Structure formats: C-alpha cells, structure tokens
Amino acid sequence: MNSKMLQYVLKRVLLALLTIWIVITVTFFVMHAVPGGPFIGEKAISKEAQAALEAKYGLDKPLMEQYTTYLKDIVTRFDFGPSLKQRGRMVTDIIADGMRTSAKLGVIAACIAAFIGIVLGAVAALRRNTVLDKTIMVITTAFVSMPSFIMGSLLLVLFSVTLKWVPANGASAGGLILPVITLALYPMAYITRLTRSSMLDVLGQDYIRTARAKGVSRRRIIFGHALKNSLIPVITYFGPMLAYITTGSMVVEQIFAVPGIGRQFVSSITNRDYTMIMGTTIFLATMIVIMNLVSDLLYKVVDPRIEFE
C-alpha cells in the first residue's frame, strides 16, 4: 500500500466516522421526538412503576445528557446498553444473534448471485443476439422486476406447501434454502445484466481487437482481459448489495419466519425500544459505509489505472 492510498483510506475512514456520528445524532433525536415510549402498552402501568422504569434506564434524565452518556458509552466501552423491551438481553447480543442467521443467508445468497450472474452475463455477451442471450435476458428481466414478497410467496407455496420438499420456516433444518434463493434472485439477475452490458462494452475496445489480431487465444482474451475489466460496475454494485443483503431483509425474514436481524429493525421501532433502534441503525450504517469503502478499494485491485484522490 503506497502513501497515497494510505492517505486516501485515512480520509475515507474519517469521513465514515463523521457519517456514523451524524446518523447517531439524527436517529437519537428523531426517535425521542416521535410520540409513544417503550413503556406504554395496551394496559397501563402505574405512574410510580413508569417512573421506576425510566429511572432504571436513565430515561428520566434531560435528553442532552442521555445523548452524551450514550455516545460516551459506545465510544469508551462499546456499550450499547440493554434492550428496553426484551428484558434482560443486551443490544449487542440481540444483534449478534440475528446477524449469525442474516449474514449466513446473505453471504450464501450474494455468492450464488455473483457467481451465476457473472457466468450468465458473460455467456449472454459472448453469444450476443442468439436465442440463449435472449432467453437469459427475458428471465433476468422477470427476476429483476418481481418483488421479493411475490417471489418468496410463490416459492413457499410451491416447494413447502404443495410439494413439501422443504420446511416453510427458517427455524427448521433446511428452512434456509428458500430464503437464500429468494434473496439471491434479484441481485443475480441484476449482476447478469450488468456483466453483459459491461462485457459488450469491453469486447468492443481496441485492445481486445489488438489481442485478437495478434492471435491470443479466445479463452485468454475472455478470462485474461475482457472479464476482469468488465467487472468494475459489478464490484460497485456488489459492495453495498452485500451490506444490504447480509444485514437482513425484513420481507424475506417475515415470509419464511427467519430469525434474522431484519425483523429487529422494524420491531424495535414499533416497540420504541430506544436502545435497539440505535444499535440496529448504527450497525446498518457502519456496514454500508464499510462495504462502500471496500468496493472503492477493490477498483484499484481490478484496474490499476484508477487513482485515489
């Protein structure tokens, strides 16, 4: 790593920290401004009990003080506090629990999507305007335009309810197969289309023509020159996609009853579970910032001509 790159990384990390700080601040104050609170339920508890709970979790203090305490706790001790709703559990434990499932699902789905997507995209580009190309394009268009709740429900009805091949819930063995497929289909189709157009672009470049003219084998042209260079847009897409897909898809987790982190995002907000809202938001923001940084750095690996500034 040269000094220019180091400088670049440093700059980006600082920028990332600033971004996360802004996310924390905005979320914190917006969250407290929304009506309702963590201890309001259908059946009211006494004022004394409410006060006791607020004191226990420090919610009786002035908002500014709560904010500074919160920041101090996460910076100095990496302490995100206890969940206000799931009594007795720590926010970090809940996130870690959910992430184990979501990350497993997401990584498998992302890998399948990338592998199949790149292969199909390359094949379509190389066999341009053939029946094969057109078939691939039609299918991928369908997958890109079909929302995951429809795709998920269709797969569920077909493979779980009618054929009974796999369980319909993520808690049972084999129950993650359908969610993985549902999660993978959209990015797979998208990557196929990205790879195809980018590859077509690269195949029309002068250096490919030169390589062909001097008799380089077709295999070497494709794998040595064309594919590598056509992956830049795919990489741009892959980083943030990996961040989103591994931090849980609410819809897919809901349909298949998968114990992932996605459902926690939503339920923490409806429950006004302040510490969980903060924890999950910070976590998601951090993941996205990191993945963006990683994919920017990957450009350099793929294309040494790219300069960091």
Residues that bind other proteins (CB under 8 A): 34-37, 40-50, 52-53, 56, 85-90, 94, 97-98, 101, 104, 108, 111-112, 114-115, 118, 153, 156-157, 160-161, 164, 167-177, 180, 223, 227-228, 231, 254-257, 259-260, 263-264, 270-272
The least CB distance from residue 16 to other proteins, in Å, is: 26
143/149 with CB nearer other proteins? 149
CB of 171 to other proteins, least distance (A): 4
- 243 versus 289: smaller Cβ distance to other proteins: 243
HSE, CB side, 13 Å, CA atoms: give it for residue 213.
6
Backbone angles phi, psi at 82, to 5 degrees: -85, 155
175, with CB counted inside 10 A (0-12, 13-18, 19+), is middle
Give the shortest CB-256-to-other proteins separation in angstroms.
7
Shortest distance, position 20 Cβ to other proteins, whole Å: 26
CA–CA gap between residue 73 and residue 70 (Å, rounded): 5
Which positions ≥6 away from 150 have C-beta within 8 Å? none
Q: Which is nearer to other proteins, 2 or 219 (CB)?
A: 219
Cβ atoms 69, 57 nearer than 8 A:
no
CA 108 vs. chain centroid, Å, equals 12
Nearest to 98 by CA among 20, 168, 170: 170
Judged by beta carbon, residue 261 or residue 284, the one nearer other proteins is 261
Instruction: Write out the H or E segment, with its range, that includes residue 287.
Output: helix 274-302
Tell me whether residue 27 or residue 50 sits nearer to other proteins (CB atom): 50
In terms of CB distance, is 64 or 173 closer to other proteins? 173
> Facing residues of 82 across strands?
90
Q: Pick the closer one to other proteins by CB: 20 or 266.
A: 266
The Cα 7–Cα 16 span in angstroms is 14
CB of 105 to other proteins, least distance (A): 10
User: How far apart are CB 185 and other proteins at their closest, in Å?
Assistant: 14
Going from the C-alpha of 273 to that of each of 95, 256, 265, the distances in angstroms are 13, 24, 10
The least distance separating other proteins from the CB of residue 65, rounded to whole angstroms, comes to 22
For residue 54, give the amino acid letter.
E
